Structure 1
Amino acid sequence: MKPYHHISIIECHEPLVPIPLERFAVFSPHPYIKVGANYGTQSPYFLRQGVLDALLEAQEYLQQTHPGWRIQIFDAYRPVEIQQYMVDYTFGEVVREKGLKATQLSPEQKEEIWQEVYQIWAIPSDNPATPPPHSTGSAVDITLTNDRGETMDMGSEIDELSARSRPDYYTNATTPKERDYSTHRELLNTIMVKAGFERHPGEWWHFSLGDQMWAWLRSRSLTARYGKVIISELSKT
């Protein structure tokens, strides 16, 4: 259980809508499809209507102070099945990086690796009371590109399993390069918060609006308005 899972959900049934990709910069090919995730007839480039409206607003704020800059979309809607695939994939990557073999792991080693994986990844739960944030269509993973179309260096990769993923990791940096990382992260956070989003406490790239995490970060007494998306709802869009 994550700390935000006690937040109740009162589903508003707002539709998922396609993201107008021409309005943003986009990672291509999609990072998870690139590593074998099979979305089938579904698409990662969907968000709830209100979340998309806010994301477009955030980009307007960005361009007011940084003309030509754009929000770059890494990932948005993520079915629970894809969440499961990426959790398993990440587990395998951690095992490989440690020079271990999955078939030879002790229970203690497995638990240690799962704890590491779940520092970043939400549990792929089918329980309607505890949906993964991306499976609600209200969370988006993003970064920035400058007026030359270059992806800004934020000091860590998206989905990186390290302390560098924490939003405040470079806050007290002393080198010019690391101060730039902090400045870019703060710019991203500023435009998103101004548009109504909240940032994941442990991930500089993850923002949500209307889900359990958002409600928990905003006020412990709020309810969430977005729960797990039902696939049949997506097919209507």
Structure 2
Amino acid sequence: MSKPYQSIPISDCGEPLVAIAANSLNAMITIDPHPYVSLQAPYGDRSPFWVRQGILERLQKAQAYLQILHSNWKIALFDAYRPIPVQQFMVDYSFAQLAASKGLDITALTEEQKNALMEEVMKFWAIPSDDPRTPPPHSTGAAIDVTLYEHSPEGMIPVDMGSPIDEISDRSLPNYFASFRNAQAVEFHRHRELLSQVMTHGGFVRHPNEWWHFSYGDQLWAWISHEQLAIYGGVS
């Protein structure tokens, strides 16, 4: 069940991971409490809000551009760095949740059912590989999950993107609402396109299956951008 981008070779540039909270990123917000931490995902001594130094700088550039387009909107960071154990934890959790949503008993699945469920999960989750040649994008510190928030009388509130982050369904596809003509769907697509526009301005590329996932410098970025090398490998 390998991914096409995993064949891209990696020549890590050696850039360090930096904690976003320690960098006075006042123009952005982080989503707290973090949903995976709330599930007790095994992050160890790092929070989810670490990225490579170059990713932080690109995020700042994207947020500055968003401020020009919408002065009262902010990029909200949902998730960034994930150790391999967290990736495995979330794949297992998502598998169990998907099975439950279909009314299936996870302890009594046939091999055919297991394979079908895992195929669905793997459309949206990277393989939790500990092979240095095939790190999950989030384990490189180069991939981030983001959305948009806007200022309201009640404070900063999420902009409706049409589906929640991590939903395992076709609604997660970036252009899912592009062909709809009703006003609400048009608005959802416009919001997704705005997010893509500001992140692209920062140098990021968007995941083909996930409206919220952007990266720069990892294998997925190299594959989408037709680059020969990824510059960010796995970070333990």
- TM-score category by the smaller chain? over 0.9
For residues 57 and 79 of structure 1, what CA distance do their matches in structure 2 show?
Answer: 26
Structure 2: segments with no counterpart, 5+ residues: none
Tell me how far 1:38 sits from its aligned partner.
Answer: 2.6
For residues 144 and 102 of structure 1, what CA distance do their matches in structure 2 show?
Answer: 35
SS at match of 1:146: strand
Among 153, 156, 162, the alignment partner of 2:163 is 156
SS at match of 1:207: strand
The C-alpha deviation readout for 1:35-60, integer Å capped at 9, x for no partner, is: 22131212111000001100010000
CA contact (8 A) 2:63 2:75 kept: yes
SS at match of 2:158: coil
TM-score when normalising by structure 2 = 0.95
Among 209, 220, 232, the alignment partner of 1:226 is 232
- Structure 1 residue aligned with 2:84: 80
The C-alpha deviation readout for 1:129-172, integer Å capped at 9, x for no partner, is: 11000000000000001132110010011000000000010111
- Structure 1 residue aligned with 2:207: 200
For residues 36 and 173 of structure 1, what CA distance do their matches in structure 2 show?
Answer: 38
- The amino acid of 1:157's aligned partner reads P
CA contact (8 A) 1:78 1:134 kept: yes
CA contact (8 A) 2:8 2:219 kept: yes
* Superposition map of 1:48-87 within 5 A: 48-87=52-91
Tell me how far 1:23 sits from its aligned partner.
Answer: 3.5
- The amino acid of 1:205's aligned partner reads W
Among 83, 88, 96, the alignment partner of 2:100 is 96
For residues 172 and 102 of structure 1, what CA distance do their matches in structure 2 show?
Answer: 36
Tell me how far 1:222 sits from its aligned partner.
Answer: 2.4
For residues 55 and 223 of structure 1, what CA distance do their matches in structure 2 show?
Answer: 22
- Structure 2 residue aligned with 1:235: none
* Displaced runs of 4 or more, over 3 A: 20-23
Aligned residue pairs total 229
For residues 19 and 173 of structure 1, what CA distance do their matches in structure 2 show?
Answer: 37
- Structure 1 residue aligned with 2:33: 29
- Structure 1 residue aligned with 2:18: 17
CA contact (8 A) 1:67 1:147 kept: no
SS at match of 1:60: helix
For residues 196 and 154 of structure 1, what CA distance do their matches in structure 2 show?
Answer: 21
Structure 2 residue 135 is the aligned partner of structure 1 residue 131: yes
Q: CA RMSD in A?
A: 1.0
CA contact (8 A) 1:75 1:140 kept: yes
- The amino acid of 1:226's aligned partner reads Y
- Structure 1 residue aligned with 2:198: 191
For residues 201 and 27 of structure 2, what CA distance do their matches in structure 1 show?
Answer: 19
